[in-house]
Amino acid sequence: MFVAGIDLGSATGKVVIMENDRVASTVVIRSTASPEKTAALAIEEAASKIGLKAVSDLEYIVGTGYGRSGVSFITENISEITCHAKGAHWLNPGIRTVIDVGGQDCKVISVNADGKVIEFAMNDKCAAGTGKFFEAMARTLDCSLDEFAALALRSGNPCSITKQCSVFAESEVITLINNGERQEDIAGGLIDSIVRRLLSMIYRVGAVPQVVLTGGCARNMALVKSLEVSLGIPVIRTKEDPQITGALGAALFAQAKALIQNK
């Protein structure tokens, strides 16, 4: 029995197909202007990897993420917070705090020993501290996101960045460039400014070990290391791509729902 979880974010669409409690296929693609089209393209690619021909080959599909509403072939929708908690707990049952930094929001989620959400804090009002912020700052520094992370890792004396709004931070970065500051230290300062913003949410919920970082920004190792230094505890690395954690949680819900449906 194959089931799927789809996480339709602002920047990417993620699909996880599961078979009998194992991950059978995963895909991450750039989002299109249409969530329905993104979902169709992502699920078609994930299915083709394991020889499935159509959506009808999937027993149950759970959707999550901003674009989940209105996709015609999704069986059921579940919130991102619940799916990220479920996915992170399945990857590591010792996880108690999930920090998700996605394309347009960031969340901190406290989970119990069963992987259920106890409490959460969320920033969805502006781009500060999200993937959109990193993309804007990388453009200002004329580099890719991977190069931006590599620059920050080489910083020996991070600049002090006081602005967290994308528009004002860009002006501050341009000023620093014109003042001759090293790109490495500007990138390092930007990472540290985002971590300070995350800490305000983390301390509201509580940083109970073990802590994991999920979402596309979890691939930024400069962000991971800065978080570890600030929290004073390790940030767990998962065996799967941290970007698919929400889709994985959705797939786990799909698996449970399909089993109930087939009883």
Q: How big is the CA angle at 140 (ends 9 and 101), to the nearest 5 degrees?
A: 30
- Phi and psi of 261, rounded to 5°? -60, -35
pLDDT at 72: 94
For domain 1-92+241-262, the CATH class is alpha beta
pLDDT at 191: 94
**What average pLDDT does the segment 105-116 reach?**
94
CA 217/CA 180 separation, integer angstroms: 28
Terminal alpha carbon distance of the chain: 13
How confident is the model over 8-56, as pLDDT tens digits? 998 899 999 999 999 999 999 999 999 999 999 999 999 999 999 878 8
Tell me whether the CATH fold assigned to 1-92+241-262 matches the one assigned to 95-237. Answer: yes
How confident is the model over 175-194, as pLDDT tens digits? 999 999 999 999 999 999 98
Percent of the chain with pLDDT over 90: 76
Domain boundaries, the chain: 1-92+241-262, 95-237
pLDDT at 97: 97
169-178, 220-229, 254-263: segment of lowest average pLDDT: 169-178
Unique residue bearing structure tokens 């202007």: 33
CA 171/CA 157 separation, integer angstroms: 20
How confident is the model over 41-54, as pLDDT tens digits? 999 999 999 999 87
Output Rg (C-alpha) for the chain, integer angstroms.
Answer: 19
Q: pTM (2 decimals)?
A: 0.90
Residues with Cβ within 8 Å of 169's Cβ and at least 6 positions away in sequence, in order, are: 128, 133, 136, 137, 161, 163, 190, 193
**What average pLDDT does the segment 97-115 reach?**
92
User: What's the mean pLDDT when you consider all of the chain?
Assistant: 92
**What average pLDDT does the segment 135-141 reach?**
92
Whether residue 128 is predicted with pLDDT greater than 70 in this model: the reply is: no
Whether residue 60 is predicted with pLDDT greater than 70 in this model: the reply is: yes
CATH 3.30.930.10 applies to domain 95-237: no
- Phi and psi of 119, rounded to 5°? -160, 160
CA 132/CA 137 separation, integer angstroms: 9
**What average pLDDT does the segment 100-104 reach?**
86
- Give residue 189's identity as a one-letter amino acid code: G
Percent of the chain with pLDDT over 70: 96
Whether residue 212 is predicted with pLDDT greater than 80 in this model: the reply is: yes
Whether residue 240 is predicted with pLDDT greater than 80 in this model: the reply is: yes
In this prediction, residue 124 has a pLDDT band, given cuts at 50, 70 and 90, of: low
CA 117/CA 220 separation, integer angstroms: 25
pLDDT at 166: 65
In this prediction, residue 103 has a pLDDT band, given cuts at 50, 70 and 90, of: confident
